[in-house]
Structure 1
């Protein structure tokens, strides 16, 4: 039995205090339980690969062709290290090979996933490339003697990208020859039958720069051949092909060649943001052209006009999956639209809400929100296609049909209005025997709001294409309504090493 002493009590108290503190420390910072150490596997860096002469030549040739993918000539060039690669000194030659490999890895990352850092994307650019580290793939390809196939696999594997690459070569060649001269404005606008106007010969020469089928004879007559050539150009620009040189056509023809090159470069870059393989069944919306296409087995089987966001209410780029369709949808009005557009109308006309089927719904926190009831006046029409996204946008019907007849269809608050939503709904619901076309029609006619989950959800891509190539080999251009082409080109330039 231990004898109690004051000193012992004090020491015991101190020891108890210390052990409590230690216990607390152990709870807060539990001792590390060390796992059995595994032998470390040393992975040599890609620059340690010793290249054969034929591999050096392959990488050098690939980097020399990098400008054909839209890169600047000096971005990845091996010209500066060619003397090192040919040196008789082993160390110098190895240093040259290491630099060649580094250039190749930078090129591989840029051509596969683009040149923007994640924080350089605008908020509305919701379509982002998958991260890509080319080092392991390079090492494996070198070890398996498959550098050629690996290099070939890096660019986007899509016809749209490859045809733009050819278009880039065409427009760079046009620029090297001096581009084109701007056409003078004048009255009256040129059209079929005009004669003895110096603008006719200038128009003919201008059209021939991009359209090799135009025969330049210099005759001051606006004949049928010139009208047809002008109509082809108007179609390439997405304009009304009326065959006359009006203000919109004149503006499109006077866009400088360097700006057209920049558009091609921006669109090639956006191709790199797509996954390496698109789903064979998907929906694609070209925001800039306001067109929607449904693909089945990688081929379009339904195309229609759309209405996309006006500047200031941009439709975002994104990818998602349509999981359900709402028949007879109500419209839950975004607070920004309610505050800016609808409440002022109600204050100006106290019967506006009632006349347009809007109801004010308490939110439970003392506030309110607006909802437009389903029906013939509903802004979402008869059908809404839902998919998850952080922007609150979707595809939908509309009771306002007149805009679909226009060649300029950027007029929504950001959602995508569809010209033929009922056929689309029936096609997407066809996999579910409970949703025959007759049942869809009956449900819509009944007027009740019903959500129909898709038996086979379908991928949806909202894309921004302002330059693309049609089957005839001609590059088609659209306006850059959101200024995203210019912004992307500027951000690419800012991300380039050595940029100011």
Structure 2
């Protein structure tokens, strides 16, 4: 466990320097009394004020006069480690030396900083999930993605430690540490969001707004409260410009953007739902951001340039080809409804979409649906008992498996629960991406209605793109018209095996950042956030380091 000192003390020292107009570190200036009204942010943004020139043969981090440039970089990274969801801060020996540089404190500061940088270098890199499915076979239920890091102990890696020290000596520590970070763009976007929201929290957080009755719009005449709401929206970047106290087009657009980013219907009016969302404490947002950063360090994605990525919590599907986003689609994922388990003696989620990764090896047009035995028992058989004509009316037939077991198969066509397309990958859970005959569910902001598979809006276009891309990789062509004719004829299922299977990742992220920097907070449909934040609190660890 590293020695630490409160981040506010460090920041106040650094800001005292900035106010004094100091560019080089001096013991006298750095030990000055902290200014009582300053924000707690100094070291993060102004490492240059802490740097003093040192002899060429100086130790990597400190000299009797203060910090080397590498030491300033190390201090900035350690101070910003919380923005990566890490429980690391600058060691007390380093802070003491920065405050009062002397030859006597060099050895302790050097050793403590070396240990801290080694711990940082070990903690930053991705540790990809290699389990095809996160499940618990004895119970038959799926696991939280946070089982990958809860209780994890990361030991210092000698090769990483040596690399950090070499980079420090060569003046490239910042670049070297940056290269360690998980490669997915969402990771870095969330780090930037954590930095931004931490600054808001440390500046006092979100001011409370009034919880109103009914819907408020252009007739809302409480200009003072309107200005407060506009100022609150502006803190997160939803309202541009100065608050004017008018419910005009700018205000309507801001409310719509906010509602979308908080998974509400994008109405133009202000109501209690918006007010309650605005009143969620800043620290809660920061905790969710850093929790998702912990998850991204354990993503199964390892830089595959072509892939299909499913965010279960966000109910969204993205197709990337050669490193570029080709298309994004609304999805419907497994239901988060809970029911009582006699075996486990607790309420469980029976239809959750699991955390898994695999490869899409074929695209099926006009797929048939073999109903899973669990759905047969729980849903299909009761309907057959209630209506003897149910099977015929809904295009089911009964067939026998090789071992003689009765199976229920729904024929292909627009009436099918699978719709017109299925993206198949050979996983143990019989999970796949498919079309649907119930497209109305795509209208909902929160979309957890399936039995576990992922329904995809616009999957016909996605499937055609994937097939055509696979053909093109081998200088072959197939027209959209031909594929459309196959769907229109609906005479039989057509399999298109992919010569180059596409990696697919189904993962769970309740915070994401859009291209314009907007933070989206997705519903915690399976309660994984709630469980893990409670675990962190029980461990005495900060949910927002």
Q: TM-score, normalised by structure 1?
A: 0.76
- Is contact 2:129–2:300 with CA below 8 Å preserved after alignment? no
Check 1:435–1:143 CA distance in 2 against 1; reply closer, same or farther (3 A cut). same
Find the partner of 1:465 among 504, 509, 532: 509
Write out aligned runs for 1:190-201 (5 A): 190-196=216-222, 199-201=225-227
Quick check: 1:440 aligned with 2:493?
Answer: no
Deviation at 1:384, TM superposition (A): 0.7
User: How do 1:317-332 residues align onto structure 2 when only pairs under 5 Å count?
Assistant: 317-332=355-370
Which residue does 1:142 correspond to in 2? 165
Partner SS state of residue 113, structure 1 = coil
Report the alpha carbon displacement of residue 387 of structure 1 after superposing the two structures with TM.
Answer: 1.5
Q: Secondary structure at the match of 2:304?
A: coil
Tell me what 1:78 maps to: 91
Give the Cα separation in 1 of the matches to 2:241 and 2:208.
18
Q: Which residue of 1 aligns with 2:520?
A: 476
Note closer, same or farther for the CA distance 1:155–1:463 as it changes in structure 2 (3 Å cut): same
2:148, 2:501 → 1: CA distance?
Answer: 21
Contact persistence 1:329–1:382 (CA under 8 A): yes
| Correspondence for 2:240 | 213
> Are the counterparts in 2 of residues 116 and 492 from structure 1 also a CA contact under 8 Å?
no
Which residue in the other structure is 2:116 paired with?
103
Q: Structure 2 regions of 5+ residues with no counterpart? A: 1-58, 63-67, 137-141, 337-348
* Mapped partners of 2:272, 2:375: distance in 1: 33
Aligned to 1:381: 419
Q: 1:290 aligns with which of 315, 321, 332?
A: 315
Residues 145-167 of structure 1 deviation map (CA, whole Å, 9 limit, x = unaligned): 55714322222234322232222
Find the aligned partners of 1:310 and 1:57 in 2 and give their Cα distance.
Answer: 49
Compared CA separation, residues 322 and 295, structure 1 to 2 (3 A): same
Verify the 8 A CA contact 1:262 1:486 in the aligned structure 2: no
Report if aligned partners of 1:60, 1:78 keep a CA contact under 8 Å in 2: no
**Count, aligned residues:** 444
1:171-211: CA deviation from partner (whole Å, max 9, x where unpaired): 22222233234444433311122224875344334323323
Task: Give secondary structure in 2 for the equivalent of 1:344.
Answer: helix
- Are residues 202 and 413 of structure 1, via their aligned partners in 2, closer, same or farther at CA, if it must alter by over 3 Å? same
CA distance in 1, matches of 2:231, 2:157: 47
User: Which entry has the higher C-alpha Rg, 1 or 2?
Assistant: 1
Cα deviation, residue 476, structure 1:
2.5
In the alignment, the residues of structure 2 paired with residue 324 and residue 352 of structure 1 have an alpha-carbon distance, to the nearest angstrom, of 31
For residues 231-286 of structure 1, the C-alpha deviation after alignment (integer angstroms, 9 at most, x for no partner) is 23223224332210234433432322222111211222222123685222222222
Structure 1 residues 50-85: Cα deviation after superposition (integer angstroms, max 9, x where no partner) = 85744566544432332232334xx34322466699
Q: RMSD value over aligned CA atoms?
A: 3.7
Change in 2 beyond 3 A, CA 1:107/1:203: same
SS for the counterpart of 2:145 is coil
Give the deviation of 1:484 after TM superposition: 2.3
Separation in 2, partners of 1:327, 1:59? 55
Tell me the residue number matched to 2:265. Answer: 240
User: Is 1:127–1:318's contact at 8 Å kept on the other side of the alignment?
Assistant: no
Deviates more, 1:343-352 or 1:246-255: 246-255
Mapped partners of 1:67, 1:389: distance in 2:
36
Per-residue CA distance 1:410-435 (angstroms, 9 max, x = gap): 21112111111222222111133475
Q: List alignment gaps of at least 5 residues for structure 1.
A: 1-49
- The verdict on how the C-alpha distance between 1:348 and 1:290 changes in structure 2, with shifts beyond 3 A counting, is same
State whether structure 2 residue 500 is matched by structure 1 residue 456. Answer: yes
Change (3 A) 1:242 1:399: same
User: Contact 1:56–1:97 at 8 Å: present in 2 too?
Assistant: no
Q: Distance in 2 between matches of 1:436 and 1:275?
A: 34
Q: Please list the CA deviations of residues 5-55 of structure 1 after superposition, one character each: whole Å capped at 9, or x if unmatched.
A: xxxxxxxxxxxxxxxxxxxxxxxxxxxxxxxxxxxxxxxxxxxxx857445
SS at match of 1:429: helix
